[in-house]
Structure 1
């Protein structure tokens, strides 16, 4: 419980720190809230005065003219009308005179102006609060987006895309909604509670005490419920992230799910996630839903108590009818902010749960910062050296140990091995998606850890297993490898990678717009486009991670021919399971359990009759 309270306090402090740049606007929110409260506080008192004025005028009209108030009351007491005499003793009666409609109208106009002024203050305050909430979340989204670019690849390996998306969108939106709904209302509610209680004490300490005791009981109950609901809201948003992650995962591979007849299993799994979210939401809403009825009961109870006790006070001559009416309005004004704060506490707990999830992203360890004095190779030719490199994803599961290898410019290095052997990890280490645990990787004699990631990656052309294309034209997707490339340079790269032929067969050619799944091109054509993108970047090193695994035999031959001319002067790495694609490699590294167990050309490895030979024969 203590740790939860500390986490909540820390979250609130961080939110307050985010609001610091809006100090002037927050002061304006306070001023407008104070103004709205003051104008509202004056209203019931003036309404009570108007009631007393109308009552006194109506009663005075039926009394004998010329008599004084004291004489009229004394006569009533003499006749035994003690209660009526007590009521009239608190009224400003003038026997024989009627209602002063001019004064009453002026008073009503003043009341109208006060309520209009209060409404105007709340309107402006709402606009200011909306700006603060929206701009704060705008800045928070930018911080989260920038943070995601600085996170190591390991974070995305252990966190589903749906979960990340849920934190960046759902949780930030919920936090914005919380700020917008609670910031101004909470300020107004606090001012209203303090101001109204002060006025009620001045009107009747007895009635004020009754109202205060009942409201404190309700507030204690609401606070207890709110604390119990806090972990339920945290669970709710965690379940929301899990559901989003599963939906993203399932619909991304929808065709695979259908092809393997796993639709029913996918539905059952979705139902499990959905039911878990439903139960978490129900538990949180069931608890938070108790707050409204409890506080509403107190409101109704206060109304009855004020009416009954107020009537007794009027009958005893301790209060006027207008004062009791004013107090009843103040009682409602006092309990309504309590109800609002109780209701807002549920939204606040939900918002705090979302805020913690967003701050967890911001608190994730970032990738190693750039060196203070980065080094750039004087001339990048493409020599790569792995020197006794060791790496593990988790402390208890070493993947690569004491790996050493060298690749010189112009060489084609092929890396093969069973699943989990560490083939793709080599490329990730070279690109510094992960940092080595021991050893070092050199690029033309310079430790890549001493270079900026931007400088390093600008020298490496990557084609991964996933043929990622964004929503844009084919030309834009190819030019992604080198911003500012001319159309002719794009076309030249496309020709070199056998893209130009099929692109020109499309109605819009290079201006053909690809959707997220690139349904207008085949899997092989998608792969060719990503190859063209990599070659347009003119890198010193090519890193092809199973780059031709989705290409048909004819296209594969075309790619091999194009690569033969394009890799001249470049260091090329091919990571693949299809051994037919790397028979002409200058060197083949056979990896097993993170170690290079064999190395040599295709013919040499076949003659060695070892791991490679068995893989080739299988």
Structure 2
């Protein structure tokens, strides 16, 4: 296998708060939520669809305009009905002005004022033709408003989904540019939560909040205009709602904002804990730690419950508060409007229309308030995603990049120094020459820096000092793709993906022919067990390779590397999951695979590296011994001590 599986190489880990299936959570705390900058950046992701957003705005204006005109027409219809009812009881043939004069002469000024404000035809009842025309116009306006609102929602959905699509693409590209150091310091479940849960929450928040914000804001503007046309006095009374709404929303939002940030932080931590536990499910069972796992899950689940409950409850107070304020204004409008009808300052239908507008006015204000719930949740998720997108990337590839003139596989380490943490040295002033065709074994105790050495060759980590050259070219002057295409890696931790056996073997060389795939399978003894599978090479493996044994998975990854035929081969405990008999066969296959290419073999079982051309013994990041198996045994040093510990040392009592 070449490059992709190598990404799973596990370095000599620096100290970091990541436990195993039974370890405590130690994820870095989320920084305080910076709402407005994050909100502006989130809205900025919509910029590529600004023309479509302009269309959304136009459709919203049309929909709201038709919706706002509707109550005015219905008010006129009420005026027609009321005027017709009053006219029916008046003497036919009399004029409206004469009747008003009679009432004033009789001292009934209030009735006179009310009649003078109306359009009356004494003795004639309701004009049903005019009334039906008004109702038909009102119906047409409401239908058009609904149609424009539907089209607006359709267009907006496309805008949001394209934005989220681009965001997912950006995240995917970002993940591929992040250094291995980043993945060593974050739980996989936490990372997955940001890529899935948080992005989905952003999608929902944008979809609902943009639609509500645009429609509600335009409705408020349109309704205010119509209310001032009907009655400036009542309009000023209704505007009292605005400052009350703003103050109430701000007070509630300040509290719920922190709770939403905590909610999504706890969601990521809980996902990380679940993923960690499921990965180590067998160990949990073996060591009988179900109770501890359940307690940890219960504690974190309780934290998530409290944060989620608090966020939803506090933000949910906005809508009832807005409704209460709206009802107070409604009562005030009803009282003042009734007095104005009695005084002749307004007609009954105008008051009815105004009451409808007051409802239309307070409802979008309440929606704008409750939208803070969605917006805060979405911005909290957006901040977590932006934190991922802003993470420090690996250094860019050089331009122009260098390429070795010939592919030989000669690797030279020149005064190489590296450390994971600045105050903890690991590798200092290391020098090494690996000639083409050599097999170099690296042995040493755990934490000696064996895998770190391999990670430096692959440029998973950058050097602190010195340089490494491949066929005379500094690997830092090559692109990572060019470098890793010349290297193959087989790890102790096997990796298979959901696909057929054939596809898994050909992962390093997608253009390989079927015969080349079978040849690689035969050379690495994969062909033996493939024929026992239900569909042979077309058998579909799951993403964990659960339908083949651990040893068979290891053989598949070796076949993958065999097919790739790189110039530099890295075997990191590649036969650790293979039985002893198969290991002998695989060693023969490895001999053919290592021919004419430089090979690095990391091994704890010293029996597997006796035939290596050069054996490096590492301790604390330094090469303390090097030589052949026979020479190192004769030297009676660190290698001899390791060898005796495996084969010759007596059992010691502890």
TM-score range, shorter chain: over 0.9
**Residue in 1 aligned with 2:67?**
40
2:546 to 495, 519, 530: 519
Matched, 1:121 2:148: yes
More divergent stretch after superposition (569-578 vs 140-149): 569-578
- C-alpha offsets along residues 182-234 of structure 1, whole Å, 9 cap, x if unaligned? 11221121111122112212222222222211332122111221132222211
Instruction: Please report how far the alpha carbon of residue 83 of structure 1 lies from its aligned counterpart in structure 2 after TM superposition.
Output: 4.1
Contact residue 412 and residue 469 of structure 2 kept, 8 A: yes
Equivalence map 1:276-425=2 (5 Å): 276-425=303-452
Contact residue 215 and residue 298 of structure 1 kept, 8 A: no
**Residue in 1 aligned with 2:603?**
576
**Residue in 1 aligned with 2:491?**
464
Query: Which stretches in structure 1 are left out of the alignment for 5+ residues?
Result: none
CA distance in 1, matches of 2:241, 2:39: 29
CA distance in 1, matches of 2:116, 2:278: 79
**Residue in 1 aligned with 2:131?**
104
CA distance in 1, matches of 2:287, 2:430: 39
Contact residue 86 and residue 314 of structure 1 kept, 8 A: no
CA distance in 1, matches of 2:258, 2:291: 33
Equivalence map 1:195-234=2 (5 Å): 195-234=222-261
- C-alpha offsets along residues 3-46 of structure 1, whole Å, 9 cap, x if unaligned? 968x4333233234322221211111111111112111211111
Contact residue 229 and residue 288 of structure 1 kept, 8 A: yes
Contact residue 544 and residue 573 of structure 1 kept, 8 A: yes
CA distance in 2, matches of 1:418, 1:81: 109
For the residue of structure 2 that corresponds to 1:420, the secondary structure is coil
* TM-score for both structures, normalised by structure 2: 0.91
**Residue in 2 aligned with 1:552?**
579
CA distance in 2, matches of 1:384, 1:336: 72
For the residue of structure 2 that corresponds to 1:374, the secondary structure is coil
* TM-score for both structures, normalised by structure 1: 0.97
CA distance in 1, matches of 2:75, 2:141: 15
Contact residue 87 and residue 121 of structure 2 kept, 8 A: yes
More divergent stretch after superposition (68-77 vs 378-387): 68-77
- C-alpha offsets along residues 373-417 of structure 1, whole Å, 9 cap, x if unaligned? 111111111111111111111222222111111111221111112
For the residue of structure 2 that corresponds to 1:441, the secondary structure is strand
CA distance in 2, matches of 1:505, 1:188: 64
Query: RMSD value over aligned CA atoms?
Result: 1.6
Instruction: Please report how far the alpha carbon of residue 49 of structure 1 lies from its aligned counterpart in structure 2 after TM superposition.
Output: 0.7
1:154 to 181, 187, 201: 181
**Residue in 2 aligned with 1:170?**
197
For the residue of structure 2 that corresponds to 1:573, the secondary structure is strand
- C-alpha offsets along residues 449-498 of structure 1, whole Å, 9 cap, x if unaligned? 11111111111111112100001111110000111101110111111111
Instruction: Please report how far the alpha carbon of residue 509 of structure 1 lies from its aligned counterpart in structure 2 after TM superposition.
Output: 1.1
Contact residue 259 and residue 311 of structure 2 kept, 8 A: yes
Q: 1:379 to 1:399 in 2, by over 3 A?
A: same
2:269 to 236, 242, 247: 242
For the residue of structure 2 that corresponds to 1:539, the secondary structure is coil
Contact residue 245 and residue 369 of structure 2 kept, 8 A: no
CA distance in 1, matches of 2:562, 2:101: 109
Equivalence map 1:42-81=2 (5 Å): 42-77=69-104, 81=108
Equivalence map 1:533-552=2 (5 Å): 533-552=560-579
CA distance in 2, matches of 1:64, 1:157: 94
2:278 to 251, 256, 263: 251
Instruction: Please report how far the alpha carbon of residue 267 of structure 1 lies from its aligned counterpart in structure 2 after TM superposition.
Output: 1.4
- C-alpha offsets along residues 338-378 of structure 1, whole Å, 9 cap, x if unaligned? 11111111101111111111111111121111111111111
2:120 to 85, 93, 100: 93
**Residue in 2 aligned with 1:500?**
527
Instruction: Please report how far the alpha carbon of residue 160 of structure 1 lies from its aligned counterpart in structure 2 after TM superposition.
Output: 1.3
**Residue in 1 aligned with 2:170?**
143
CA distance in 2, matches of 1:68, 1:244: 81
Contact residue 409 and residue 570 of structure 1 kept, 8 A: yes
**Residue in 1 aligned with 2:20?**
none
Instruction: Please report how far the alpha carbon of residue 109 of structure 1 lies from its aligned counterpart in structure 2 after TM superposition.
Output: 0.4
CA distance in 1, matches of 2:239, 2:550: 72
For the residue of structure 1 that corresponds to 2:46, the secondary structure is helix
CA distance in 2, matches of 1:403, 1:286: 60
More divergent stretch after superposition (482-491 vs 386-395): 386-395
For the residue of structure 1 that corresponds to 2:239, the secondary structure is helix
1:438 to 451, 465, 470: 465
Higher relative contact order (CA 8 A, sep 6+): 2
Contact residue 42 and residue 379 of structure 2 kept, 8 A: no
**Residue in 1 aligned with 2:158?**
131
CA distance in 2, matches of 1:149, 1:181: 31
Instruction: Please report how far the alpha carbon of residue 81 of structure 1 lies from its aligned counterpart in structure 2 after TM superposition.
Output: 4.8
**Residue in 1 aligned with 2:24?**
none
CA distance in 2, matches of 1:370, 1:520: 40
For the residue of structure 2 that corresponds to 1:93, the secondary structure is coil
Contact residue 241 and residue 362 of structure 2 kept, 8 A: no
Contact residue 521 and residue 527 of structure 2 kept, 8 A: yes
Matched, 1:275 2:289: no
CA distance in 1, matches of 2:454, 2:150: 58
Instruction: Please report how far the alpha carbon of residue 77 of structure 1 lies from its aligned counterpart in structure 2 after TM superposition.
Output: 4.7
**Residue in 1 aligned with 2:478?**
451
CA distance in 2, matches of 1:612, 1:294: 77
CA distance in 2, matches of 1:262, 1:18: 45
Query: Which stretches in structure 2 are left out of the alignment for 5+ residues?
Result: 1-30, 646-654
Number of aligned residues: 615
Contact residue 416 and residue 588 of structure 1 kept, 8 A: yes
**Residue in 2 aligned with 1:480?**
507
CA distance in 2, matches of 1:275, 1:421: 41
Instruction: Please report how far the alpha carbon of residue 583 of structure 1 lies from its aligned counterpart in structure 2 after TM superposition.
Output: 2.1
Instruction: Please report how far the alpha carbon of residue 295 of structure 1 lies from its aligned counterpart in structure 2 after TM superposition.
Output: 0.5
For the residue of structure 2 that corresponds to 1:394, the secondary structure is coil
